[in-house]
Amino acid sequence: MSRFTFLKAVLGPLMRLMFRPQVEGAERIPGSGPVILAGNHLTFIDSMILPLVCDRQVVFIGKDEYVTGKGLKGRLMAWFFTGVGMIPVDRDGGHGGVAALMTGRRVLEEGRMFGIYPEGTRSPDGRLYRGRTGIARLTLMTGAPVVPFAMIGTDRLQPGGKGLPRPGRVTVRFGEPLEFTRYEGMDRDRFVLRAVTDEVMSEVMRLSGQEYVDMYATKAKAA
């Protein structure tokens, strides 16, 4: 039994009891082959709930601090996140973005499922912010379809992404797969990259019902 299977078997019932997730459209996720899951990011527990509501393992990038913590809490976090499929990357370094992109490409070329938050960080106020074009480069480089998803209600259970989440109901909603093979070979065209990213974010907005802000979330946080 893999650690992912074990975690789903052990923690799945506990998570369902605590968060009572209502999952909509999970049947839209292809059962095999490379897939990109792209969605909004409201709070820390998004990355705990998403892997446990999908039948296939979701590989995703996470801050290396999630696996370098000290003490019992640090070891438990590292064991959980690497078990559900997180690959730690130092995204604060000069080459962090490139490392994350190449990691995603490798995962997809292995025929696996890769999860990504195109906003690049958690929303500072519950609104949906402009997507980074890494999602577009990934789908154009690999030909993998993009399945948009929306996390709804997680920010009410863990405001600000800090502290222990309180029990409550959340919704995870998946949309129809988006294909961008018509842009094959154009992964360096910035206008194509922006158009693809905006199409993905438009679908995430439709699924989540969030207000859209045409501004990067990192800039909003800095302001």
Per-residue pLDDT in tens (0 to 9) along the chain, 223 residues = 577 777 778 777 888 888 888 999 999 999 999 999 999 999 988 988 898 888 888 988 877 766 677 787 777 777 777 777 777 776 655 555 777 888 899 999 999 999 999 998 899 999 999 999 999 999 999 999 999 999 999 999 888 767 778 888 999 999 999 999 999 889 999 999 999 999 999 999 999 999 999 999 999 888 7
Distance of CA 200 to the CA centre of its chain: 13
User: How many angstroms separate the CA atoms of 97 and 113, rounded?
Assistant: 19
Helical residues (DSSP H) of 46-179, grouped into ranges: 46-53, 71-84, 96-109, 134-142, 154-157
